[in-house]
Structure 1
Amino acid sequence: MIYARRAERLHLGLLLVHVIPEDLVSHGNPEYRSVHDAIVGLLESEAGRARELAQAVHVQTRLVSGETVPVLVELSASATMVVVGTDRMATRDDMEGRMILESTVSCLRARQIHLSVSERFDSADAPARALAGASQGAAILVVGSRGLGAVQHAIMGSVTQVLPLHVPCPPILTRPAG
């Protein structure tokens, strides 16, 4: 946690921010609350770690909805120092991904009791290959597309363009409303 110690040396406050894409879950869905709570817990855990290492630093946290780059641009306008990323290994991302997956699946199972839902977390494989592997034996594969690539207005993203050719079951490709 080099950034906390540097903030202490420079007599700066520290704001830890996590940006959650608005299209990940909408605020009206029950899944949003569980994802929100999981990420707030991760932020508070990291803030506690920063406070232990740099006790003179005023540490705050903020969870923001939106797209990462515009949010960071806005927040950095008044910042003395901006640190993007983390000094921890990728296992942190895996933990967050697992928490989001578990909370989303449990909410889906609670709301759709007649639906058989399988979950599989795979951060080692390419997304399209992981989804194709996970769909083995499935009746259907539902995949969301954010369309955030170079051509934002394209009908499908790069992963969803590859899937129909490689999955053994019918895929349903969805996009956020609006």
Structure 2
Amino acid sequence: MTSRIRLLRAGLTITLVTGSVLLTGCTAIVPMEPATDAVNPTCADLIVRLPTTVASLPERETNAQSTGAWGTPSAVLLHCGVDVPAPTTLPCLTVNGIDWIEDDTDAPLYRYTTYGRDPATELVIDSDKVSGSTVLVDLANAVENIPATGKCLGAEDLLLPTDGETAAPAQ
């Protein structure tokens, strides 16, 4: 038989398990805002598959729909349902079959947004605390539950016109 007593002021949870006492620390909920399309049912397919650890960081509880966080303090933040990105000149990385647009404008905070998936998922990663590539690998199995509708293209993927017309994807 297990009974649980919460001591909110002390920030501890005491669990009694057939005569044993276990003490665990209580970590604060990570405050986040839901993305514009957080209620999209496809986000639920991703969220229920999020791993309990990412880059060896423990999962944290968040207060917003279709979000995730890992690390204490949080080094990885996830939002599902962000605006689907338009074509961009920012670098696009393919990691385990998932295309990610990388924005290092706020380095050491890196922003990765899925490309060619609707709804889009955004990650904010503190590169001083965790490797971005490890995070992208660890989250690929969850993110792949949002079906791909397109993929990143580079200059090598375009047929460049010789007659002044607009470039088109190579066939």
Same fold at TM > 0.5: no
Superposition TM-score, scaled by structure 1 size:
0.24
Higher-Rg member (1/2):
2
Larger RCO of the pair (alpha carbons < 8 Å, separation 6+): 1
- Structure having the larger proportion of residues in strand: 2
Higher helix share: 1
Alignment TM-score, normalising by the size of structure 2: 0.24
